[in-house]
Chain A
Amino acid sequence: MEYKLTHKAYTAALRENRLLGLKCNACGGYTVPPKKVCIECAGEDLDIVELRGQGEIRTFTVIRVASEGFQAPYIVGIIELDEGPWLMGNIIGVNCDEATMDMIGRRVKLGHAVIPGDKFSAGERVATTFSL
């Protein structure tokens, strides 16, 4: 059975700062990033939808020791989207040394960053970003 919303299609939209997901016609739940079936109920009847791309910071960290290919420091966070799913990305536009617990609960808006591929990745990568 054909994969409805592939990584390729998802990241093509993300490159235009559009967040695509899947809405389940059985339970109404949203699946983002995409999967073969609904993350909530495993339903197979899904429609591709565009999400608002907004939400609230649930947690974050400042990476001070990066893995190969990344330049520390930078902020990684997990955001609860208005539609319900949680999504990981880089929080940008915040001074790393001013990233404190009061960031939790702040509203953010989605963007993206293109990350060059490395010797292990399957080509160029697209990271989700969030700005306050």
Chain B
Amino acid sequence: MREVAVVGVGMTRFGVSENTNVEMFSEAAMEAINESNLEPKDIEALFFGNVFGSHEEGQANMAPFAVADIGVPNIPATRFEGACASGSVAVRDAFIWVASGYYDIVLAGGTERVLAMDTPAATRAFAMCSNSYYEGPAGITFPGVFAMLAHLYSHKYAIPLPKLKEQMAMVAIKNHHNGKLNPKAHFQATIRDLMEARIARATQRGQPVPTWADEMEFFRDIKVNPMIADPLQLYDCCPFTDGAAALVLASIDKARALTDKPVLVAGVGQCSAGSLADQKDYTQMKSRILSAKQAYTQAGIEPPDVDLCELHDCFTIAEIVAMECLGFFEFGQGSRAVARGETEIGGKIAINPSGGLKAVGHPIGATGARQIYEVVKQLRGECGERQVAGATIGMTDTLGGDAGTICNIILRRGW
């Protein structure tokens, strides 16, 4: 194994896109390649994350079209699919092949055009990532999986549900606050901004003007924050989003010739789990605990060494449980840590300084690469108002399916 570094990153503005999956990926890919001081002809292979191309565009085997679009139609191009963790899984494999010496310079990332599907179709497609024979027939949805997790968490740690829901709301408030500072985020607005926009709209239209005393009252208002799957309301959920992200990985000798700021891939982990019910009490996800341990061991670090973590906040409760499984907080303490502000930029550990899936959005094939994009920018000190001061070690955490796939990547400054 030799050292491997990220030499360039790129991503589209996340949100609603009229571009195709391949067009979005090419934008992100060329940004990453140009930033690396390379040309497409220098890329030896593509590791490509995409989940629902067949449903979104009637397009299978998309990876060859992606390399053709950037002028290298003959290099190996392979799709990686691990549900919402697809982008991370693609990057991890890319890392392994460069570390092994097989390739020197590769492109990895992903793309997803979720909004080409309407909400019922997208909900059906996402539900395919649960066991379709033994759990799908119950009509389980992804909000449903994490709604059941919130109930498990509340019961197990004896945190009354109204209290837990306030702590979960604080995850959303924090991530929207961070997202406002991220020019690539789908939602660049705080929860307070969203409240004021609704008040302004009602006033303009001569409709009854809402009188929420604070954010918590806004969250409790089911007229604006409807129940999706009890106890999760709309603002507990990340949005459906279009977008792509890409990065160039190179062996350390090549990387040092290309950039003064190579970001080292210090450790990676990936683990699997079976059906949701087979995992039993999934407040402590074994696949995540084991995956993170692989990454920490390879990097030779412990959780307190991590300055920032981009983790899988597909739902507010998901962020709390992930923080605990990754070892940043004791089991059962995560929701209190959020309430104490320990996960804000400048807190004990910055969790999702980008705004996370909640505010940046979640194009599932791209998310893992998008998380690495943020960590790379943070370690290089390029994040402006959302910069985590002095960040030297960052980590990503991506969850696919109902914890069926977990992938973790630890990055550190290579200069």
Q: Which A residues lie at the B interface, using CB under 8 A?
A: 7, 33, 39, 58-70, 74, 76-78, 80, 85-90, 99, 101, 104, 113, 115, 118, 120-121, 125-128
CA of A68 to CA of B154, assembled, Å:
30
Q: Which B residues lie at the A interface, using CB under 8 A?
A: 119-121, 123-124, 126-128, 132-141, 143-144, 147-149, 151-152, 154-155, 161, 226-232, 274-278, 280-281
Chain A residue numbers with a CB within 8 Å of B155 are 59, 101, 104
Q: Which residue of A lies closest to B234 (CB)?
A: A65
B119 adjacent to A87 (CB under 8 Å):
no
Minimum distance in angstroms from A4 CB to a CB of chain B: 16
CA of A126 to CA of B136, assembled, Å:
10
CA of A120 to CA of B127, assembled, Å:
11
Chain A residue numbers with a CB within 8 Å of B161 are 101
| CB < 8 Å neighbour of A58 from B121, B143, B152, B275 | B152
Q: A7-B133, A68-B123 are in contact. List 7 more A-B contacts (CB 8 A).
A: A39-B278, A67-B123, A69-B124, A76-B144, A101-B161, A121-B136, A126-B137
Chain B residue numbers with a CB within 8 Å of A78 are 148, 276-277
Chain B residue numbers with a CB within 8 Å of A76 are 138-140, 144, 148
CA of A68 to CA of B139, assembled, Å:
9
B139 adjacent to A65 (CB under 8 Å):
no
| CB < 8 Å neighbour of A86 from B119, B147, B228, B277 | B277
Interface centre among B135, B155, B277 (most CB of A within 10 A): B277
A63 adjacent to B280 (CB under 8 Å):
no
Total inter-chain residue pairs, C-beta < 8 Å: 112
Q: Which residue of A lies closest to B155 (CB)?
A: A104
Chain A residue numbers with a CB within 8 Å of B123 are 65-68
A64 adjacent to B138 (CB under 8 Å):
no
Chain A residue numbers with a CB within 8 Å of B277 are 78, 85-88
| CB < 8 Å neighbour of B280 from A7, A60, A86, A104 | A86
B124 adjacent to A127 (CB under 8 Å):
no
B138 adjacent to A88 (CB under 8 Å):
yes
A64 adjacent to B227 (CB under 8 Å):
yes
A61 adjacent to B151 (CB under 8 Å):
yes
Chain B residue numbers with a CB within 8 Å of A66 are 120, 123, 139, 141
Task: Given the known inter-chain contacts A59-B152, A101-B161, A125-B136, please indicate yes or no for A64 contacting B120, CB distance below 8 A.
Answer: no
Q: Which residue of B lies closest to A104 (CB)?
A: B155
Task: Given the known inter-chain contacts A59-B148, A76-B148, A88-B135, please indicate yes or no for A68 contacting B276, CB distance below 8 A.
Answer: no
B152 adjacent to A67 (CB under 8 Å):
no
Q: Which residue of B lies closest to A113 (CB)?
A: B137
A68 adjacent to B124 (CB under 8 Å):
yes
Chain A residue numbers with a CB within 8 Å of B140 are 63, 76, 88
Minimum distance in angstroms from A114 CB to a CB of chain B: 9
Chain B residue numbers with a CB within 8 Å of A85 are 277-278
Which A-B residue pairs are the 5 nearest by beta carbons? A61-B147, A127-B137, A68-B124, A67-B123, A70-B139
Chain B residue numbers with a CB within 8 Å of A61 are 143-144, 147-148, 151, 229-232
A67 adjacent to B124 (CB under 8 Å):
yes
Q: Return 5 A-B CB contacts under 8 Å, by A number.
A: A58-B281, A61-B143, A61-B232, A64-B227, A121-B132
Chain B residue numbers with a CB within 8 Å of A69 are 124
Task: Given the known inter-chain contacts A104-B151, A104-B155, A128-B138, please indicate yes or no for A63 contacting B133, CB distance below 8 A.
Answer: no
A86 adjacent to B278 (CB under 8 Å):
yes
Chain A residue numbers with a CB within 8 Å of B151 are 59-61, 101, 104
Minimum distance in angstroms from B54 CB to a CB of chain A: 10
CA of A3 to CA of B152, assembled, Å:
34
CA of A119 to CA of B93, assembled, Å:
33
CA of A126 to CA of B120, assembled, Å:
21
CA of A104 to CA of B230, assembled, Å:
14
Chain B residue numbers with a CB within 8 Å of A68 are 120-121, 123-124
A99 adjacent to B148 (CB under 8 Å):
no
Chain B residue numbers with a CB within 8 Å of A125 are 133, 136-137
Minimum distance in angstroms from A117 CB to a CB of chain B: 10
Chain B residue numbers with a CB within 8 Å of A65 are 119, 123, 141, 143, 228-229
CA of A87 to CA of B278, assembled, Å:
7
Q: Which residue of A lies closest to B228 (CB)?
A: A65
Minimum distance in angstroms from A128 CB to a CB of chain B: 7
